[in-house]
Chain A
Amino acid sequence: MGQDAGGRRRQNLGTLRLPDFCNLGTWLRVLLAVNAMALLGAVHGTRRLAALSDAFVESAAYVEPIAIGSLILLCGGQRWFARLTPPLRVLATLLVPLACAAVTAALLAPLDEGQTSLLRIGFWTVLAVGMLLAWFDLAARAYAPAVAEARLMALTARIRPHFLFNSLNAVLGVIRSDPRRAETALEELAELFRSLMQENRDLVPLSSEIALSRQYLDLERLRLGERLEVRWDIESCPPDALVPPLMLQPLLENAVYHGIEPLGERGEIGVTFARRQDRLVFEIVNPCEQAQGGNHHAGNRMALDNIRERLALFFDLEATLTTQTEDRRFVVRIELPYRREGAN
């Protein structure tokens, strides 16, 4: 039966989408799934409730080493597997757990008095791997339109019309007295929109996100003048880190719209980036007046949800976005794994 399933899949093995085996979310899902399967198996094979835990522990003795061992090997060998042709890669993904199963069975055989046959373990391993791969493939296919949709959302929800029209109005306001400033502003506006209209599918270097954000803030300074102050504290963060495109600019736009504009006086936005081992931490802090209209918060949440969704698409469970209001300050905090170009 195991061979049957393999045969049917061979036709589309090349198009099967494999998950990222180094991803924490993949690990979590695999371990949850195989343990659930082990529990189901234990429930099925047991008549009495008291024997259930024994049966589960017994199967767990096989399930955990096979699952964890396979994940370690698949993650460690990911780069090597990437060089294989797609069908071979799928085959390797199947063989690694089988090898783990064989080793585990050999190690546990003396303890188990030979009650569990190698064939049975092999059968269950192939079945579990097959089901998991099918499920990951399905999930990847279901997410693909979401990537395109996220890009569309990026186009429509990114820049507030409020910002566009006010900026154009401000450019018109300085065009007679300071034509050069107006020129720069229009150039910046053009570049900002070019970035917005690009295919924003791939991760980009942090340095280009920072450049884009500085241009955006420069435009806002034309309108707001002295009222807008930005404190950058980003020295300790590697500029080659890869981040989702348009991650910072919308957060800064939120900070300006909700933090600086309603403020009668000068206000400061704090931007702090830091690297903690293999994690990056981004923090954007803006002043926050209590008495604000409800619709402002709705717009804020929409932009944050948009970024949160895109972080999930790029990093799955490994990236987080949290917000917090404390002492008249609004803090947005993003944490994500440190990745570099070429180093995956």
Chain B
Amino acid sequence: MSGALRLLIVDDEAPARTRLRNLLDDVVAQVPTQVVAEAGDGIEALQRVEGLAIDIALIDIRMPRMDGIELARHLAGLAHPPAVIFVTAYDQYAVRAFELSAADYLLKPVKAARLAEALAKAIRSPTTAAAVSQAAEAIVPGGRRQLRCLERGKVLLVPVADVVYFKAEQKYVTARTREREYLIEESLAQLEGEFGQRFMRIHRNCLVARDAIAGYERDHDSAGESDPRWALLLSDIPERLVVSRRLWPQVKAALAGA
């Protein structure tokens, strides 16, 4: 990192953002910084940082539309994730989670000395994306609530709860909801790691939502073969998903158990 640190400030209260900017000005001699983006909630922040390189993100936890925990999870998934410093007024539960996972945080009202210290630490040994995810998982379990999808330069958010299945096709992954498909910039392995509770692997290239499965039948394409494959029927959309021979015993057991 050379020159001034590039910062993102996210807080839904305007005076709180002003306060952080004032303090950053005060400590600029110690830690040179430059605020390159500001946002009032997580969704706005994701839109603002698109195409920007951010070194450090100062993130309030409690915000409307998308809170700081969810935002941190999305930032951790970026190609160049910024170091995240959480800012909170009073949330003992979150503070304990930050301490356990070594994620850094500031308490409101923020003090200049403490801010400078946190920035210095973020340069020296930035909080890893893994630590941020771990803290986030401790505070709000079950992974992200939404997935980020880039469409014509615009950030779209797809609720994970709406996704019926993920399918890997050549270079990209698509998320299929009841209405349409979205392109996702994440690997199936990543998604399976985060949403293993909700989705089940049925094929090398496919994860399906457990509660979207309506039943199964013999796959017509392999009907003539001696060891035919099986396909899953979905409750919301008239599509069939082929289960790989290798995974069928596991899938069948999971379906029997459900």
Residues of chain A within 8 A (CB-CB) of B22 are 173, 176
Interface residue? A170 (CB, 8 A)? yes
Q: Which of A27-35, A83-91, A220-228, A247-255 contacts its partner?
A: A220-228
CB-defined contacts of A171 to chain B, threshold 8 Å: 15
Q: Which residues of chain A are near B41, meaning CB under 8 Å?
A: 264
Interface of A is mostly: helix
Which residues from B are CB-within-8-Å of A162?
Answer: 62, 89-91
Chain A interface residue bracket vs B: 20 to 34
- Chain B interface residue bracket vs A: 20 to 34
Contact A165 B90 (CB under 8 A): yes
A170 with B16, Cβ < 8 A, contacts A165-B107, A165-B108, A165-B109 known: yes
- Rounded to whole angstroms, the CA-CA distance of A169 and B17 in the bound complex is 10
Q: Closest chain A residue to B110 by CB distance?
A: A169
Q: Least Cβ distance of A285 to chain B in Å? A: 19
| A169 in contact with B64 given A161-B90, A162-B89, A162-B90 (CB within 8 Å) | no
Q: Mark B34-77, 1 if CB is under 8 A from A, else 0.
A: 00000001000000000000000000001011000000000000
Q: Which chain A positions have C-beta within 8 A of B65?
A: 264
Instruction: List CB contacts (< 8 Å) of B89-117 with chain A.
Output: 89-91, 93, 107-110
Taking a contact as CB atoms under 8 Å apart, the answer to whether B13 and A224 are in contact is: yes
Of all chain A residues, the one with the shortest Cβ separation from B66 is A264
Q: Is B229 an interface residue (CB 8 A)?
A: no
- Identify B15's interface contact among A165, A173, A261, A263, CB under 8 A: A173
- A244-280 CB mask vs B (1 if < 8 Å, else 0) is 0000000000000000011110000000000000000
26 inter-chain pairs at a CB distance below 8 angstroms, sorted by A residue, are A161-B89, A161-B90, A162-B91, A165-B107, A166-B13, A166-B108, A168-B108, A168-B109, A169-B15, A169-B89, A170-B15, A170-B16, A170-B19, A171-B15, A173-B17, A173-B18, A173-B19, A173-B22, A222-B15, A223-B13, A223-B15, A225-B14, A262-B64, A264-B65, A293-B140, A295-B93
